[in-house]
Amino acid sequence: MFKPVRKAIIPAAGFGTRFLPATKAVPKEMLPIVDVPTIQYIVEEAVQSGIEEICIITNSYKNCVIDHFDVSFELEQKLKESGDTEHLKMVQDIANMINVFAVRQKNPKGLGHAILCAKQFVGNEPTAVLLGDDIVRNPGGPTAIRQLIDVYNETGATVVGVQTIKHENVNKYGVIDPEKKINDRLIQVKTFVEKPDIDKAPSDMAILGRYVLTPEIFDFLETQQAGKGNEIQLTDAIDRLAQKEKVYAYDFVGKRYDVGDKKGFLQAQVEFALAREDTHDAMVEIIENLGYKK
C-alpha cells in the first residue's frame, strides 16, 4: 500500500511575457477563459481528483492569485445586501474549495527550482504537479491528474503525463525515450530529454504539464545543475531519477489546451464558450456573423 497523493503543487511564478502587455500588471494565471481565471480550472481539476491541499508557487507581484481563493468579506457583504445569492454562492464556493498555501520563488531559476521550493510543504509524501499553462478537459471521464494518480496507486512510482505531438514541436517540450510499453497507454521510460533538437528527439511523446512525483525527486532537484535556458529543469531531475528506479509515462485521455500560447488561449475561449449553456448561443452567433473565409 503506497502513501496516497493528497497534495499538489501548481507553479505560477512565471512572468507571462508571451502575453505582454496584459501581464504587465495582471498575472497570466488570472487571465480568464470566458469568465473563469485559468488558475481556477487547474485548482478545480486537482479538487476533482481528490487532492486535499494545494501549494501555489508565486512571486512578489502575484498576491491576487492567492487572494482569488480566499474569503472576500467586502464583496460578500455587498452581494448579501443586494440579494445576489447566485454570485454570493459562487464566490463562497471558490473560497471553500480547498486549502491553498503559497510559497514564493524568490529567484526565477526554472520549473525544477519552483518544485524544490515546495519541499517542506510536500514532506515525505508523493505529490501531484499541475502546470497552469495546460488545461485538460475530459468530459464524462477522469481528469488528467486523476489518471496519473491511478497509475501511481498501482506502481508506487513517479509518472508523467504525455501525449503525442507534431514532430516539428518536440523542441518546445520535455520528451520521453521509451524503454518498454506496459499497455496501450502506460510506458516505462528509459530517459527524458528537455527540449531536444528536432532531428535528435527520441520520440514524439511530450510531457504536457501533469506529473505525480515520489518524494525522492527532491534529492535530485537539490543537486540538479542548470540545463536548457540556464534553468534547473524538472525533466533533467526526473531523468536522473529514472536511472535509479522505474519511472512511467502515461498517455492520458483528454483534450489539452496550451493556454500559455496565444493560439491555444484563443482556442480555449471559443471551445469553452461553446461548451457552456449560458454562452453557447452567443458564441455561435459571433462565429456566424463573422462569416470569415480564409
279 and 224 part of one domain: no
**Do residues 12 and 23 lie in contact, with contact meaning Cβ atoms separated by under 8 Å?**
no
C-alpha cell at 213: 512525483
Residue 225 gets which letter from DSSP? P
- The answer to whether position 23 is within a domain reads yes
50: left (phi over 0), alpha (psi -120 to 50) or beta: left
| Per-residue confidence (pLDDT) for residue 167, from 0 to 100 | 94
Q: Answer yes or no: do 67 and 182 share one domain.
A: yes
**pLDDT at residue 75 in the model:** 96
Looking at residue 83, what is its pLDDT? 96
Whether residue 213 is found in the same domain as residue 285? no
Which pLDDT score, from 0 to 100, does residue 294 have?
Answer: 64
30 and 107 together in one domain: yes
Is 74 a domain residue?
Answer: yes
- Residue 2 counted as domain residue: no
What is each CA distance from 149 to 5, 6, 13, 140, 213, in whole angstroms? Answer: 7, 10, 25, 18, 10
| Residue 230 pLDDT | 85
- Domain assignment present for residue 152? The answer is yes
> Which three cell numbers, joined as nine digits, stand for 137?
478537459
Please report the pLDDT score of residue 207 as a whole number.
92
Which CATH number fits the domain that encloses residue 248? 3.90.550.10
Total number of domains constituting the chain: 2
Q: Are residues 46 and 65 in the same domain?
A: yes
Ramachandran category for residue 197: left, alpha or beta (phi over 0 → left; psi -120 to 50 → alpha): beta
SS3 category, 251: strand
Residues 210 and 270 occupy one common structural domain: no
Mean pLDDT by 10 residues, the chain (294 residues): 94 90 92 95 97 94 92 94 95 94 91 96 96 93 97 96 94 90 94 90 93 96 87 92 95 95 95 96 94 74
pLDDT of residue 228: 82
* 1 found inside a domain: no
Residues 200 and 282 placed together within one structural domain of the fold:
no
CA distance readout (Å), 10 to 88, 118, 165, 273: 26, 10, 23, 25
Structural domain for 238, as ranges: 7-260
